Structure 1
Amino acid sequence: MISKGFKWVFRSPPRLLLIGFACIILAGTILLKLPAATAAEETTSWIDALFTATSATCVTGLVTLDTGTHWTTFGQIVILALIQIGGLGFMTMATLFAFFLKRKISLKERLILQEALNQSSMEGIVRLVRRVIVYALSIQLIGALLLSVRFLFDMSPGRAIYFGIFHAISFFNNAGFDIMGHYKSLTDYVGDPLVNIVTMLLIILGGLGFIVLSDLIDWKRTRRLTLHSKVVLSMTGFLIGFGALVILVFEYTNAGTMEPLSFGEKLLSAFLQSVSPRTAGVNSLDLASLRQATQFFLVLLMFIGASPGSTGGGIKTTTFATLIGAVYAMMRGKDDVVMFRYRLAQERVYKALTVTLLSLALVLVATMILSTTEDHHFLEILFEVTSAFSTVGLSMGLTLELTLVGKIIIIVMMFIGRVGPLSMGYAFGPKPGRTLYRYAEGKIIIG
């Protein structure tokens, strides 16, 4: 019976990934429940330990307890380990140990890596994993050094180095956890160019995806980029620039956010708040004081999220670009979605539509449930649910006041958002068979 259960798990890579993430969350929950993880005179309930472990493993950043004051150094290191494993993927970390042990990667492990990195082929998957590990560790190391140097002006050397390492790992993995204390995030550094620019670069590099990073590094040699990289880079640049402009316009005269700042500080905060909703969860402005138009715009940015094969969540930039391309093609009366002189397969368009509708349905259902269980404004609840599903971590304050049911719903949304709604369907759905026939074509009126 046990062997049959193991076969059921290992038969499907999506199922194995899902169960693997669940096991990591369970281990993290147990570690965070230990007395050594909690600061003196503080207690941690099982639901709060589970919430924190899920948020860290799913690289979200929503917290019911202040990371900087509630947890001891041991607890924070557990959270940091969960962030790294969750961001890079537990299969990537397992492959790293296999490299150290000089063990060959089996075919089944390659299939799981293919699913974990969202690749369409196993070709070159081990080489890509090597690059993922090297790029991630290198970028995080540089980010940690730069942040540590800046923090040296505000704290002791040991504390500055620790803060630099923690925040570099958290920001690169788009986790949004911070140990500044009292839920402040980067509000104390709203006008600091070094902290803001390094933070944005870490978030962007983590959110582009390792395939794109690999393409960019190889560009000097190949002088070409894949279609995927072109779409990701152009859409990322557009969303950051357009997002910053919209936030700057809406918040420029808001006395609770940007009005007291200099023009340079306004620009920095506008760009950071444009980059952060792409699943990073860092804020330098008080989110609760933002105008409602800005808050709703951040919901849209969070829903789009980062790019495939990255540490971020959301429906992904390529999905959004495909939908825009499909709308444009339909309005122009064209049969094909064309990007950079390449035609997209119809299957890609169907997948983009499926991911978007499934994600939207999950967000709406969770929002409706929380609107019943939580006594808060609708926009606050929608903001929280979208933040959880897109593994962003931004909050307008609702997380701290969630009921038990509310915490469970947010935990489920974070987990589904990290694994992906399609992967959840593949994990437990029936194995698709080949259809040997097609039905007669019918016609319905659309629009």
Structure 2
Amino acid sequence: MVKINILPLRHITPPQVLALGFACIIFFGTFLLTLPISSEDSSPTSFINALFTATSATCVTGLVTVDSGTHWSKFGEIVIIFLIQIGGLGFMTMGTLIALLSRRKISLKERLILQESLNQTSMEGIVRLIRKVLLYALVIESIGGLLLTIRFAYDMPFGQALYYGIWHAISMFNNAGFDLFGPITGPFSSFTSYVSDPLVNFVVTSLIILGGIGFIVIADVLEYRKRKSIKLSLHSKVALSTSAALLLIGTIVIFIFEFSNPNTLQPLDWGSKFLASYFQSVVPRTAGPNSLDLTALRQATQFFIIVLMFIGASPGSTGGGIKTTTFAILIGAIVTIIRGKDNITIFRYRLAQDRIFKAITLTVLAMFLVVFVTMILSTIEDAQFLKILFEVTSAFGTVGLSLGLTPELSVLGKIIIACMMFIGRLGPLTLAYALTPKKEKELFKYPEGKITIG
């Protein structure tokens, strides 16, 4: 009899723990969603649709093969929102909450995993940060839920308004993009009926922005407001400035491209035009709801949204993409080369070489992944290239915006998109670290060589 050596649990690296943990949550959610009690008509949901929905919820994406509001029962909707909360905050964060409530000591191994899940460079103060993460999430979701409840109460009974308010606040803060408006305004309608509503627009976008800038930034800003003597960290400055620039540029570009489009902005008044442009600039960062019909957007606008989705949110947040800080480093590298300088300098700080290499590696890996999957889906699916690229980038960035292709995908296509959402949530580098053996120290170096560039 041949003995099979299984890797002991203590030898599993933090990236591997994260990958396995998310996979376990997804499959448990899939099991619950296949149960007859989870669907509105009390019939079992197909395994592939349940798997896709569980993956999308856990990876806080928002792409769906069935309309969330009309297909799922209350039980199914609660399963989805729990998956969103766990996936958004991270299963290790939720596990830490249980440990803190039970007064159990957080081990070194668990601290390493928490460090990996929050994209931190150090374990110092990691448990304290987790406490802040949980507190911020509870406060922000509660305030958002209350404001949405007040607004929805004008359109529906108070009980339903309260349920919708809390449910959508959790979904939006975790940048998931799931919505339940199907029974009211039609399947896959999202927030299109609230395109001119200032309260809904600003509450939803505020929840998305707060969830997307990262818990480290929120903690840093609040600490700065308390004690003016403390300076914002370089990470916070880069994340905030890049996010603000992308939101401003995005709003202006979408407004210009769609201003004369009779199917989107043209019928709206000036205030609603800016509101809709701002909303659609925020959601690719990486939330997923929409207030305009995305299929009616001009192709230039759709492609611009693809770029925003690829960049995504900030590190340590509920969003995906290559992240705003990575994008800032790439822009910094371009400016440095053009100016003939040797070092990338941002806010009077010189960036370490390993940070630059990591940013370039992450971006190239992400681009190769998106291009490769787009090519595969273009071969097996009968759809326009831009639609496929839009859907693939949305899955990678865990955005959830869709041009209507996802429900029409074949079983293989749905599996591929589900895998993209999984990779996008973990991050290409984290997944690569999880699948590669432990790094060994280099014992020697090769002689330096030069290659002509350009």
Alignment partner for residue 200 of structure 2, among 180, 195, 200? 195
1:277 aligned counterpart, secondary structure: helix
**CA RMSD of the aligned region, Å?**
1.3
Which residue matches 2:278? Answer: 271
Counterpart residue type for residue 120 of structure 2 = Q
Shift in alpha-carbon separation, 1:10–1:265, aligned structure 2, 3 A: farther
Question: Offset of 1:8 from its aligned partner?
Answer: 5.0
Equivalences, count: 447
1:242 and 2:243 aligned:
no
Which residue matches 1:208? Answer: 213
**Mapped partners of 1:290, 1:369: distance in 2:** 25
Counterpart residue type for residue 431 of structure 1 = K
Question: Offset of 1:43 from its aligned partner?
Answer: 4.4
Which residue matches 1:186? Answer: 191
Which residue matches 2:327? Answer: 320
Runs (4+) of structure 1 moved beyond 4 Å? 1-4
**Mapped partners of 2:177, 2:263: distance in 1:** 22
1:358 and 2:359 aligned:
no
- Is the contact made by 2:141 and 2:170 (CA closer than 8 Å) also made in structure 1? yes
2:284 aligned counterpart, secondary structure: coil
Alignment partner for residue 380 of structure 1, among 378, 387, 396? 387
Q: TM-score, normalised by structure 2?
A: 0.97
**Mapped partners of 1:7, 1:222: distance in 2:** 46
Moved more, 213-222 or 405-414: 213-222
User: In the TM superposition, what whole-angstrom CA distance separates every residue of 1:114-133 from its partner, at most 9, and x where no partner exists?
Assistant: 01111000000000000000
**Mapped partners of 1:351, 1:41: distance in 2:** 48
Q: Where do 1:67-82 residues align within 5 Å?
A: 67-82=68-83
**Mapped partners of 1:157, 1:2: distance in 2:** 62
Counterpart residue type for residue 275 of structure 1 = V
2:145 aligned counterpart, secondary structure: helix
Which residue matches 2:129? Answer: 128
Which residue matches 2:350? Answer: 343
Counterpart residue type for residue 120 of structure 1 = T
Counterpart residue type for residue 121 of structure 2 = S
Alignment partner for residue 432 of structure 2, among 415, 425, 443? 425
Counterpart residue type for residue 383 of structure 1 = F
**Mapped partners of 2:11, 2:255: distance in 1:** 50
Shift in alpha-carbon separation, 1:435–1:194, aligned structure 2, 3 A: same
Shift in alpha-carbon separation, 1:416–1:9, aligned structure 2, 3 A: farther
2:8 aligned counterpart, secondary structure: helix
**Mapped partners of 2:6, 2:190: distance in 1:** 44
- Is the contact made by 2:37 and 2:43 (CA closer than 8 Å) also made in structure 1? no
Alignment partner for residue 267 of structure 2, among 242, 257, 260? 260
- Is the contact made by 2:263 and 2:296 (CA closer than 8 Å) also made in structure 1? yes
- Is the contact made by 2:59 and 2:87 (CA closer than 8 Å) also made in structure 1? yes
Counterpart residue type for residue 147 of structure 1 = L
- Is the contact made by 2:85 and 2:170 (CA closer than 8 Å) also made in structure 1? yes
**Mapped partners of 1:130, 1:420: distance in 2:** 24
Q: TM-score, normalised by structure 1?
A: 0.98
Question: Structure 1 stretches of 5 or more lacking a match?
Answer: none
Counterpart residue type for residue 217 of structure 1 = L
Question: Offset of 1:222 from its aligned partner?
Answer: 3.3
**Mapped partners of 1:9, 1:107: distance in 2:** 12
1:141 and 2:142 aligned:
yes
Question: Offset of 1:4 from its aligned partner?
Answer: 5.8
Counterpart residue type for residue 156 of structure 1 = P
Question: Offset of 1:41 from its aligned partner?
Answer: 6.1
**Mapped partners of 1:245, 1:80: distance in 2:** 33
Shift in alpha-carbon separation, 1:318–1:359, aligned structure 2, 3 A: same
